[in-house]
């Protein structure tokens, strides 16, 4: 029987316990430490790449480039975040959905049956950085039916199973760089076929990037020094903040955003023209890609092994195949909201993964996707987690096991 919140031990964490966020943070030295130059990782280091502020902008541009006629549609997975669905709809295409099972694998038969006379493109998603097992068959199906295959690699930066990067299979691939790297924004489109997207042409406001960097540096201090880090930031970060405030507004403010529901799961047309900001591009290209992927793999392997040993929750992918770089560690739990609260009480940020449903996707037709949306909690394994932070997460996993 699971202990309820009121009966759990509520000993406050030590003020020096790390506070682990869901996203990696930027080091104040990130821009100074590495030599000028640097480069983006494969497969977004070549010439057939364009840049955007977010991956949903890349999807919107891709569908616009297809110029869908009224009544034409794009096929999307039933397990989706919502932002990609919204981007397709706002690019004036219809949407249809194919089944994804409880292990996040595409149901190839259902995908085949869902293609109709109006289908122009298929979006396939490599959830959490893991490749779709039937990817080659999906490539062949799309080729045979004359459909554009869009590989959604929003979670799959650095994933290269068998030595071939994800994002090199479809006609076009989109990456959401800000989900893996400590940057304020940033997405890329890799073009493998004839369709071209130009990317965004407008720089996001510089002040927005600098504000993000300030908050991220603060979060880094809190991660490394526990709640005591909040005091450190007064000295370290606010000096930088004061300097930022004195900057002239060199870039005009963005046009007013069009409100369109939850910003995490919707597409805002006002941002479609934005490219990846200059600070984001600088940080991304100077990042140590090999070290980040290795750290993520190490953290995933360690935490997944601990969870497999203890039980109390189940890793969606118990094993990490060679070459896969995980976005996070998705675990399946019968009570994901309580588990999330448990971690939050210990200063560990997690995400109820895709608990929002896009209204265009008929959830009732897809019980497996609904199961995933209501049972998956994403634990952090990102590159910021050093040994003390990992030990802190392991202690929280053990405490959950002891209390349930
Ligand atoms: C699978 C998938 N595709 C696309 C997107 C959109 O990415 P972005 O937030 O960069 O627009 C997301 C966002 O969460 C996602 O999870």
pLDDT, tens digit, 9 for 90 and up, residues 17-28 = 778 999 999 987
Atom of ligand 1 nearest to the CA of 56: 11
DSSP state of 45: S
Residue nearest to atom 2 of ligand 1 (CA): 154
Q: Where along the chain do its domains lie?
A: 15-21+288-403, 49-191, 205-253
pLDDT, tens digit, 9 for 90 and up, residues 52-67 = 999 999 999 999 999 9
Residue 142, CB-side half-sphere exposure with 13 Å CA sphere = 22
CB atoms within 10 A of CB 243: 11
Instruction: Indicate the length of the chain as a whole number.
Output: 404
Ligand 1 centre distance from Cα of residue 73 (Å): 20
Residue nearest to atom 16 of ligand 1 (CA): 81
Ligand 1 centre distance from Cα of residue 102 (Å): 20
Ligand 1 pocket mutation, candidates 77, 150, 154, 265, criterion most atoms within 8 A of CB: 154
Ligand 1 centre distance from Cα of residue 11 (Å): 37
Q: In what order do the strands lie in the sheet with 119-125?
A: 49-52, 187-191, 172-176, 148-153, 119-125, 73-77, 94-98
Rounded CA separation 311/64 (Å)? 46
Ligand 1 pocket mutation, candidates 84, 87, 88, criterion most atoms within 8 A of CB: 84
Ligand 1 centre distance from Cα of residue 83 (Å): 6
Residue among 198, 199, 175 at smallest CA distance from 187: 175
Rounded CA separation 253/250 (Å)? 9
The reported pLDDT for the residue numbered 238 is 53
Q: Per CATH, is 49-191 categorized as 3.10.150.10?
A: no
Ligand 1 centre distance from Cα of residue 329 (Å): 17
Ligand 1 pocket mutation, candidates 58, 81, 275, criterion most atoms within 8 A of CB: 81
33 φ, ψ (degrees, to nearest 5): -70, -40
Taking only the tens of pLDDT, the chain with its 404 residues reads 344 443 344 555 666 677 899 999 998 777 665 566 689 999 999 999 999 999 999 999 999 999 999 999 999 999 999 999 999 999 999 999 999 999 999 999 999 999 999 999 999 999 999 999 999 999 999 999 999 999 999 999 999 999 999 999 999 999 999 999 999 999 999 999 999 999 999 999 999 999 999 899 888 888 887 665 555 555 455 544 554 454 443 333 333 333 334 666 889 888 899 999 999 999 999 999 999 999 999 999 999 999 999 988 999 999 999 999 999 999 999 999 999 999 999 999 999 999 999 999 999 999 999 999 999 999 999 999 999 999 999 999 999 999 88
Ligand 1 centre distance from Cα of residue 122 (Å): 16
Ligand 1 centre distance from Cα of residue 266 (Å): 10
The reported pLDDT for the residue numbered 1 is 38
Residue nearest to atom 1 of ligand 1 (CA): 154
- Provide CATH code, domain 15-21+288-403: 3.90.1150.10
Tokens of 373: 């949306």
Ligand 1 pocket mutation, candidates 76, 83, 186, 378, criterion most atoms within 8 A of CB: 83
Task: Annotate 345-377 with b (16+ C-beta within 10 A) or e (fewer).
Answer: bbbbbbbbbbebbbebbeeeebebbbebbbbbb
Cis peptide bond prior to 93, omega within 30° of 0: no
The reported pLDDT for the residue numbered 27 is 85
The reported pLDDT for the residue numbered 42 is 96
Rounded CA separation 173/55 (Å)? 10
DSSP state of 189: E
What are the residue ranges of helices labelled H in 79-187? 83-90, 108-114, 135-145
Atom of ligand 1 nearest to the CA of 267: 11
Atom of ligand 1 nearest to the CA of 176: 10
Atom of ligand 1 nearest to the CA of 57: 11
Cβ atoms of 178 and 26 closer than 8 Å: no
The reported pLDDT for the residue numbered 37 is 66
Tokens of 241: 């903040």
- In the structure, which protein residues have their CB atom closer than 6 angstroms to any atom of ligand 1? 54-56, 81, 83-84, 125, 152, 154-155, 176, 187
Cα Rg, the chain, nearest whole Å: 21
């Amino acid at each position: 029987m699971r202990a309820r919140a009121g009966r759990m031990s509520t000993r406050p964490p030590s003020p020096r316990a790390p506070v682990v966020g869901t996203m990696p943070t930027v080091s104040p030295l990130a821009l100074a430490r590495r030599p000028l130059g640097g480069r983006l990782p494969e497969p977004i280091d070549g010439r057939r790449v364009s840049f955007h502020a977010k991956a949903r902008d890349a999807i919107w541009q891709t569908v616009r480039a297809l110029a869908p006629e009224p009544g034409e549609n794009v096929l999307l997975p039933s397990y989706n975040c919502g932002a990609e669905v919204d981007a397709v709809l706002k690019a004036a295409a219809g949407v249809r959905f194919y089944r994804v099972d409880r292990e996040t694998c595409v149901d190839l038969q259902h995908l085949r049956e869902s293609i109709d006379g109006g289908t122009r493109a298929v979006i396939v998603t490599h959830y959490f950085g893991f490749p779709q097992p039937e990817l080659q068959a999906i490539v062949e199906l799309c080729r045979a039916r004359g459909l554009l295959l869009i590989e959604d690699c929003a979670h799959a930066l650095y994933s290269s199973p068998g030595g071939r990067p994800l994002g090199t299979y479809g006609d076009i691939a989109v990456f959401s760089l800000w989900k893996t790297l400590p940057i304020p924004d940033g997405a890329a489109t890799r073009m493998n076929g004839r369709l071209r997207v130009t990317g965004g042409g407008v720089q996001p406001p510089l002040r927005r990037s600098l504000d993000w960097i300030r908050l991220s540096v603060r979060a880094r201090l809190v991660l490394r020094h526990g709640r005591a880090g909040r005091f450190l930031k007064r000295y370290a970060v606010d000096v930088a903040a004061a300097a930022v405030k004195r900057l002239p507004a060199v870039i005009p403010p963005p046009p007013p955003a069009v409100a369109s529901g939850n910003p995490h799961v919707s597409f805002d047309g006002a941002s479609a023209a934005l490219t990846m900001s200059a600070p984001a591009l600088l940080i991304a290209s100077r990042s140590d890609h090999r070290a980040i992927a290795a750290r993520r793999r190490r953290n995933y392997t360690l935490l997944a092994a601990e969870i497999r040993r203890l039980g109390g929750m189940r890793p969606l992918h118990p094993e990490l195949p060679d070459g896969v770089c995980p976005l996070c560690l998705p675990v399946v739990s019968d009570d994901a909201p309580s588990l999330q609260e448990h971690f939050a009480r210990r200063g560990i940020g997690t995400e109820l993964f895709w608990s929002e449903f896009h209204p265009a996707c008929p959830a009732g037709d897809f019980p497996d996707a609904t199961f995933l949306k209501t049972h998956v909690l994403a634990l952090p394994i990102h590159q910021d987690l050093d040994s003390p932070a990992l030990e802190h997460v392991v202690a929280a996993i053990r405490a959950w096991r002891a209390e349930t």
